[in-house]
Amino acid sequence: MEKILVTGGAGFIGSHLADELLESGYKVRALDSLIEQVHGPGRRRPEYLSPDVELVRGDMRDPEAVEKALDGMDAVFHLAAAVGVGQSMYRIEDYVDVNCRGTAVLIEAIVKRPVQKLVVASSMSIYGEGLYRTVDGAAAPAAQRTIERLRNGEWELVDQAGRMLVPVPTPEAKPPSIASIYALTKFDQEKLCLVAGSAYGIPTVALRFFNAFGPRQAFSNPYTGVLAIFSARLLNGKPPLIYEDGLQQRDFVNVRDVAYACRLALESEDAACRSFNIGSGRSHAVVEIAERMSRMFGKEINPEITGKYRMGDIRHCFADISLAKAVLGYEPRVAIEDGLVELAAWLEGKDASDRVAEASEELAGRGLTI
């Protein structure tokens, strides 16, 4: 394989993946619509995108644009997607159209002109709640929170006897439990690619990304990754807004580790027809990360704990990455401390349009927070 197409290749993860591929000797073409929410009103080629990347501007839902971008390519990374749990709960048609129909258009184009490998970006969001165990050590794979408990500010999950469940690393074997429209579309993207790949003999891999962070994230987009949202608030001298009590646990993985895992999936002969968690393998409370970022930015700003629940959110989910280690040879290389230093350095001197409060009001006005 020599020539690689990356859909969404001008975006946050896509541009880092392009760098990883270029450094490994591949030729890279990016298909990207350069949407305003990510790339700003000018919708221009981002400065961070390597000049060695051939950029094709086009929409995933346009068969002609997709077929043009696919011409001459040996493999495809499908990263293009509308992203964001909160926004997906009220822009339902957009998310389904972009993520599901866009993927279907890509698959039909690949069927006409097969490639040697297809790697699709899935998401940890398909799990809903992560894996839990009871205090006795028994698995509780279908654990859920009730609206009644959430209204009362009882954030943790409990068993039928009312005993608190213990979150543990989530493996790929945990059944999906869809909690948002975004999660549903990512599950559809994963399954569309795996099913079609199997039917047409195209080696296909799904990578379930956990909470990726790092330079180039669209930190003026209030529906992007949580660390970028925190950054936008801090850069404007405002406290990060945190739902619930801030003790929810997540797996924050550096974007360069994500790009590295993508290349490993491309090059691994044993990865086909499988799904892999791509995370750091470590968990951190959201409030802990917000406080670290405040110190790193030189700000004495404590996060604001809202005590509210946002529809579609889950309590705890962090990755078991043992399968990716065993099959792909994946090993995270960037510690979160180093990643936060790099992020702070990249943000220094930048302006960020803080639309977080506006987005929160939008959700509240639609009854999507309680």
Q: What confidence score (pLDDT) does residue 222 get?
A: 66
Confidence (pLDDT) at 37: 86
Tell me the CATH number of domain 3-365, given options 3.30.530.20, 1.10.10.10, 3.30.365.10, 3.40.50.720: 3.40.50.720
Q: Which of 182, 243, 309, 330 is catalytic?
A: 182
Whole-angstrom Cα distance, residue 183 to residue 106? 20
182 belongs to the catalytic site: yes
Low-confidence ranges of the chain (pLDDT < 70): 219-223, 352-354
Cα dihedral 258, 167, 229, 362 in deg (nearest 10): 130
Per-residue pLDDT, 352: 66
DSSP lists the bridge partners of residue 305 as 242
On the CB side of 138, CA atoms within 13 Å amount to 10
Rounded CA gap, 61 and 41, in Å? 21
Whole-angstrom CA distances from 353 to 357, 358, 363 are 11, 11, 19
Which amino acid appears at position 238 of this protein?
K
pLDDT value at residue 278: 99
Strands (E), the chain: 3-7, 27-32, 54-57, 75-78, 117-123, 131-133, 166-168, 204-209, 211-213, 241-242, 249-250, 252-254, 274-278, 284-285, 304-305
In tens, the pLDDT along 302-354 reads 999 999 999 999 999 999 999 999 999 999 999 999 999 999 888 877 776 66
- What's the confidence (pLDDT) of residue 220? 62
